[in-house]
Each structure stands twice: as structure tokens, then as C-alpha cells.
Amino acid sequence: MPYSFTQIEKDKGRVIVLVFFSLIVFYFLTALILYWSIKGFLILQINAESERTNIPYQWMWLYPKEMIAIVSVALIVGIGHWFFTMDHLVEKMLGALRAEALNPSDKYHRMFQNIVDEVSVATGGTPMEGVVIPTMAMNAFAVADFSGRNVIGVTEGLLARLTRAEIEAVVGHEAAHIVSGDCLSATVTTSLFELYNSMRIGLGEMISSSRSQGKKSDGVVYLSYGVLTAATFMGKILRMFISRQRELRADAAAVRLTRDPLSLSQSLYTISSRWRGAGLSGENLEAIFIVNPRFSRLDESQGFFANLFSTHPPVAERLSILLDMAHSDAKVLEKKFLERQNYPRTLAPETPGASLSLVNTSSEKNWIVNKDGQWQGPFSLLDLANPGFLQVDTWVKKLGSERIEQAFENTETRDFLWKKNQQQTLLCPKCRVSLFSEAYEGASIYRCQACNGVLVHENDVERIVIRQEYDFSPRIKEIAQKLYQEASKKLPHIDLTNANLYACPQCQHIKAKMPRMLYSLVYPVVIDKCSFCGFAWFDKDELEILQCMIEQADQKNA
Amino acid sequence: MIVGVVLLVVVAVAFLLSVAVYNALIGMRQAVQNGWSQIDVQLKRRHDLIPNLIEIAKGYMAHERQTLENVVKARQQAVDASGLQDKQQAENFLSSTLRSLFAVVENYPNLKADQQMLRLHEELTSTENKIAFARQYYNDEVTRFNTAAQTFPNNIVAVLFNFKSYDFFEIVNPAEKEVPQVKF
């Protein structure tokens, strides 16, 4: 091992001690300036009363008592700040980044969880968790705290756009930060001040909005804004302690873990080419990301100041090192990048249940069923899906076969019942028949086999619009384009008559109607979203239109 | 007198050095054993997944009885194997039968699209990767330990306290092992 554990422990400890020391110095200077200004102000007052004109400058001299008071205030505030920030640090960071826990029923999330576990094995069993940020951008980060909790996070865009090997390489890079311990020092360093940046931005907005209304804000507001601005500036200074070399070291260690320099260079190339995540919540915590979410000129340059204040080395430098290791060159990367944009995709299923494997055989109406002593039919298996219709002991007969069996005796109906029982019994809000759960773009959705509308949880909608497994028919593309263009002139009409609103299939017991709304003003697809459980109902094709619209807008921006 | 003091110092230094070396070697041996148990865990996981795989595949590919039976047999061998050499061979055989099974699965689009099959495929891929990573970690640690135990002066301590070198866990592809026949 080129970088021994004792060396790492020493480095890690040194950075954290330095950061703590600077925190105390920061508070000492702040307290000193405040004290001077108050004292100066008071002396001016007294002098004005006694009408003395020559003001002695000795007041700037501090007595030992005053000095001790200032130092102890600085110590108390600094230590308080430190412990306040370090308490549940990982949760705070994840909150600032709007990261979410993994959903085990999601295909991409399961894969990501597996990859994190694999890399953890490669490090010899260092415990690591995975989280995702639901955004289209592509980036990855690692955070750790003193309690020994290590978390690796990626964005949904990264999961959707990179191959398994590339995601593995990225996770390897983040795991390398964790194993070497510089993840902890980087988390501590960035969190101390940058964590409160969102508070500063919020206050700034408050001040400007009250100013535009002609009102004056309190002095306290201005004071806290000033303190927070100083803190943000301090945060920038603290970046000195985060060496940009740590990214190069982590790249190298990632290659040692996953033995795949080409995949790592491909993922760096793709991330830095576009979608690196500017505007991401928590983008100011840039030091913990694999590539700086904001493109920064400082990062891409060399020299004294760049080395001192930037958090990431130039991407070109990282790529050339990795490509050297892989015995490859930049042309391969460009080729792969173009391939990725034009990969072959299958059309999204347009007929009901086409993606449901059990339905392939069962859409023919060839079953008759004995219900209440009467033979009824013929039905397809899907018709039988209606609640309470087919029970295990119902007598069934398949057309063309002589046998009359109970549903549990026949293999087809038994399988069907088994699969049906695994589903939640949600009913279509329009047709009142059972909704079938199916996998779509890696997430699970509930589809009505009669009207082809789908019920999707809002979290899954976010993921589905990011993923691009399916292509769309020209008809859908055309509708999406028209809707998108017309949205700038006139928004579509929403029918809000109470009688036409749907009841939420999930929250039926409280008889809640789902409010009808547009997905967003930019993407005006009409959806009915339950305000209790977050499930949204899309009529036939609407989900595909939304996906297609977002994809087209993304291509236009590229 | 002076000779005595010098001798004492030499003995003391030698003792302290060997304590340090002994402790370092123990630490490395722990890492090796930890690496081995990681491999074991992942191999077990694979053994547990295979019955499910067979169960799902059975329903779709009735005509591929031979392939399925091979996997079952290979799995049983791997479960029964003990000792590094045996395990290595059995696991390699199991890997190759699994590969041929997945090659056959390609011919059954319905099976390939089955949700449970997709899930299992991902789990198996992940387990294969974990085995590879665990093996990589184990072999790295074995190299570290062996190098440490065989270099001077550590080897004196190693011999004194009976530290044995470990063998690598190698996944040998039988096709790669054969010497290519060159014919003119």
C-alpha cells in the first residue's frame, strides 16, 4: 500500500485539528472586532457628552481581563458551533443535499445497493450505505462523521446514464475517499460553514423581498446576514485545507479497488461533459463531490492560487492519468460518449399489459367460470382479476378442454391467483377494476388493464422521467412537442368540476378526491395527485408524453 | 562489564524488534483470515441463490434438463468441497456451468424478461462480483503477509513462531489453463 494507514491517521487528524483551530481563531477575531466597535461607540458617546475633542486611541488597548473575556467567549462559541455541527453530521449533510434512502423495489436502486456492497467487499468490509439524490444531474459524493457512519450517494441521472461498470468505478472512487479517511476531514471542513449557506441565501431573499415592499428589516436580520456572509467567506478560506490532490489519490485508489481505469475515465468524461449538477441543492458543498457541480475556472487551472483554493484538479489531468493506466486515449471516450447518446431503445409498451409477462397468454377470452351456481363467460384471465371474482375454490373450465377444475387445481389459474395475491388490491379510479403492478423504467407502477391509465408514486415519477430505457412512438413525440410549444402561450384547460375528480385508489377509506393539477408550468401534463399519499394518476399515454417532453427539452438544452 | 551491557542492549533491542514484528505479522494474518471469511460468505450466498434460479428456469426450459442438472451437481460439489484446493476447483466448475446456463437462457426471451429472473440475474452478477472482489482483497492481503513473513529479518520471527505462508485463491478458467496447441 502506497499510503499507509498510520500516515492516513496522522494526516486526517492534522487537518481536523487545523480546521478546529481556525474555527476558534475566526470566532476570536469576530469577537474582537465586535468588542472594539462597541467600546469605540461608547467612548465616542462619553466624549461627546463631556465635549472633549481629542479622542485618545488608547481605548484600543485591551486589559488582560478584557482579553480573557474575549478569548473565553470565542472558545465557548467555537466549541458550541463545532459540537452543534458534528452532532448527527451525516444526517445534516444528507438533508442539505436532499438525498433519499434507497427503495428496494426499484431496479436501479437494487443495482446501486449491490454495487456499494461489492465495493465494500473490495475494501475488506468497510461498512458503507448508499443514498440517491433525485435529480437529472450526474454526480456522486461521499460523507462520513465521527460516529463511523459512511455514506456514498449518487444522483438518479448518474444511475440512469452510466453503465454498471462505470457506476462501480465511481463508487470505487468514493469508497477510496472513505477508506483513506479524507472523506471525514472533507466532510468536517465543508460542513462547518457551508452547511449554513442555505440559511444565508434564505435571509438574503427575505431582506430583498421586504425591501422591495418598502419595509425595513430589523437590525438583527442584517446582523445575522452579515455574520453568515462572513461565515461563508470563512468556508471558502477553509478550502485551503482540502487538498485538490485528494481527488487524484482517490482516482488511483479506485483503480486499485475496481481495477478498471477505463470505466472511471469514461464516467468522469461523461459527468464533466454535461449535467454535472449546477443548481443542485447543496452544490456549495462541492468538496465532497467527485466532480465540482459548478464548472469553475479555478479548478481547471494550475498555479499557486488554484492549488491553494480549488477543491478539484483539472478534469483533463485526471483523465490523462487514468487513460495512461488504461493504455487508451481520448478518442475512445468520445466514441463511447456518442454511442451512449444514440443507443438503441425499444418502444414503450402501448397496449395494456404488454410488459406483464403473465398476461401474454391470458388476454384471450377462453375461460368460463361457475359463479353462484351459474356458468358465466367466456372471460380472459384479466377479466377474472376483478376483486372477489375468482377465488381459490371457484370452479373454472378452459374452453377447448373437457376438465372442470377448481381454480387452485389448474396450473394457469393457480399461478395467476398467486401473482394477483402478491399485488396490492388497488382499483382503477375510472374503471373500478384491479390495477396490476408492473415494472416500468425500473420503478413499479400500477396499470389499469382496461383504460391503460397508470398510478405512480410521485417519487417514482421523478425517477421515471430521468430514465431512458424506452423510446416513444412518433404519435407520442408529436403530441409532446405540440404541448411543450403551446405551453409558452396558453396552458391547457383543467376540468376541476368536483364530480369529474377521481378518488385516490390508495386513500379510498377517507374518501379523498385527488386534486387535478399540471405536472409543472413548463411541462403541462394534467395529473391527479393525492395530497395524502403522493400517488399520481396518469391517463392513457400521459406518462409517456411527460417523459418524452422532458427528454426533448433536455436534448434542446444540450 | 561493558561487554555485558552491550550484550544486554543488543538482546533488549532484538527482543523489542521481534515483539513489533510478531505483532505486525499477527495483524496481517488477521487481515488474511478476514479476507478468507469474506470469500466464504459470498460463496455461500451463491450456493443459496442457485436453487431459486433453477426453480424459475425449470418452468421455462423443459428441454434443457442436462444444463440444469449440471448446475445442480456442480453446486452440490461446491457445497461439499473442503480445503482450499478442492474449493477452488469446485467453485470454478460451478462458475463455468452457470456461464453455460446463462448462455442458454439467451435463447428464451420469455425467461429473460421474467421479473424474478431479472432480479436473480442481478443478484447473481453482484455475488460473482463480490466473490471476485473478496478474492482480490484476500490475494492482496496474502501477498502482503507472505512478503512480510519472508523478508529479512521478519523471517526469523516467522520461523520461530511457525507462521506459514498462505496460498492464493485463484479462479482459473480451464480454457485459459490449457497450453495452446501449435500445429504446422
pLDDT tens figures, A527-537: 998 888 888 99
Q: Which helix (H) or strand (E) holds A370?
A: strand A367-371
pLDDT tens-digit series, residues A37-50: 888 888 888 777 77
Residue carrying C-alpha cell 462523521: A145
- pLDDT tens digits, B131-160: 999 999 999 999 999 999 999 888 888 888
Which residues in B have their CB inside 8 Å of a CB on A?
31, 34-35, 38, 42, 110, 113-115, 118-119, 122-123, 125-126, 129-130, 133-134, 136-137, 141, 144
Give me the half-sphere count of Cα atoms (radius 13 Å) on the Cβ side of residue A330. Answer: 9
Cell 471558502 locates to: A236
Q: How far apart are CA A188 and CA A239, in angstroms?
A: 11
Q: Answer whether A122 sits within 8 Å of B136, measured CB to CB.
A: yes
Mean pLDDT in residue range A63-85:
92
Minimum-distance CB partner of B115 among A117, A357, A360: A357
Tell whether the torsion through CA atoms of A347, A350, A354 and A355 is positive or negative.
positive
Distances (CA, A) of A188 to A119, A178, A426: 24, 13, 47
Of B35, B114, B130, the CB nearest to A124: B35
Distance from CA of A118 to the nearest CA of B (A): 5
| Integer Cα distance of A387 and A113 in angstroms | 36
Around Cβ A475, how many Cβ atoms within 10 Å? 12
Are A360 and B118 inside 8 Å of each other by CB? no
Query: pLDDT: is A239 or B90 the higher one?
Result: B90
Instruction: Indicate the SS3 state at residue A554.
Output: helix
Cell 444531474 maps to which residue? A137
Q: Which chain A residues have a beta carbon less than 8 Å from that of B136?
A: 122, 259
pLDDT at B11: 94
C-beta neighbour count of A422 within 10 angstroms: 8
Within 429-448 of A, beta carbons closer than 8 Å to B belong to 439
For residues A276 and A330, the answer to whether their CB atoms sit within 8 Å is no
CA-wise closest residue to B19 among B146, B166, B164, B160: B160
- pLDDT for A83: 92
Å between A381 CA and nearest CA of chain B: 19
Cβ of A114 within 8 Å of Cβ of B123? The answer is yes
Asked whether residue A305 carries a pLDDT value surpassing 80, the answer given is: no
Give the pLDDT score at B55: 85
Q: Which of these ranges, A32-41, A432-441, B140-149, has the smallest mean pLDDT?
A: A432-441
Question: In this complex, which of A257, A259, A357 lies closest to B110 when CB atoms are compared?
Answer: A357
The predicted structure's pLDDT at residue A3: 44
Q: Which residue has the cell 377474472?
A: A384
Helices A245-258 and A164-180 pack at an angle, to 10 degrees, of 120
Decide if B110 and A125 are in contact by the 8 Å CB cutoff: no
The per-residue pLDDT for B59 is 78
Establish if A111 touches chain B: CB-CB under 8 angstroms.
Answer: yes
pLDDT confidence of A2, banded at 50, 70, 90?
A: very low
- Count of Cβ atoms closer than 10 Å to residue A376 Cβ: 12
| Cβ contact, residue pair A124, B119, below 8 Å | no
Cα–Cα distance, A224 to A243 (Å, whole number): 31
**What is the Cα A491 distance to its own chain's centre?**
29
Q: Give A 511-530 residues with CB within 8 A of chain B.
A: none
Q: Please answer yes or no on whether B133 and A107 come within 8 Å at the CB atom.
A: no
- Whole-number Cα distances in Å, A421 to A362, A415, A434: 17, 10, 11
Between residues A23 and A402, the one the model is more confident about: A23
Percentage of residues of chain A with pLDDT beyond 70: 88
Instruction: Supply the pLDDT for residue A329.
Output: 83
pLDDT of residue A358: 44
Q: Return d(Cα A91, Cα A88) in angstroms, integer.
A: 6
Whether residue A423 has pLDDT greater than 70: no
Shortest Cα–Cα distance, B114 to chain A (Å): 7
**Grid cell in block for residue A421:** 395475491
| Count of Cβ atoms closer than 10 Å to residue B87 Cβ | 18
Mean pLDDT of chain B: 86
**Tens digits of residue pLDDT in A211-264:** 888 777 677 788 888 888 888 888 888 887 888 888 999 999 999 899 889 999
Interface test with B, best of A114, A121, A257 (most B CBs within 10 A): A121
| Cβ contact A434:A416 at 8 Å | no
Q: Residue A119: its chain B contacts at CB < 8 A?
A: 133
Choose the closest CB to B34 out of A119, A125, A357. Answer: A125
Which chain B residues are closer than 8 Å to A125 by Cβ? 34, 38
CB-based contact, A122 to chain B, within 8 Å: yes
Average confidence score pLDDT of chain A:
82
- Three-class DSSP category at A342: coil
Question: In chain A, whose CA is at the least distance from the CA of B143?
Answer: A1
Cell reading at B164: 506459514
How far is CA A410 from its chain centroid?
46
Question: What Å distances lie between residue A68 and A62, A82, A491, B144, CA to CA?
Answer: 10, 21, 66, 54
State the smallest CA–CA distance between residue A124 and chain B in angstroms.
Answer: 6
Mean pLDDT in residue range A271-293: 77
pLDDT of A352-385, one tens digit each?
A: 544 444 444 455 677 788 877 778 777 777 677 6
The pTM is what? 0.83
∠ at Cα A190 (A185, A191), nearest 5°? 100
Please tell me the predicted confidence (pLDDT) of residue A328: 85
CA distances from A49 to A36, A40, A403 (A): 20, 14, 112
For chain B, say whether A360 makes contact (Cβ under 8 Å).
yes
Give the chain A residue whose CA is nearest to the CA of B111.
A357
- For chain A, give the number of residues: 558
- To the nearest 10°, the Cα dihedral for A424, A429, A433, A437? -40
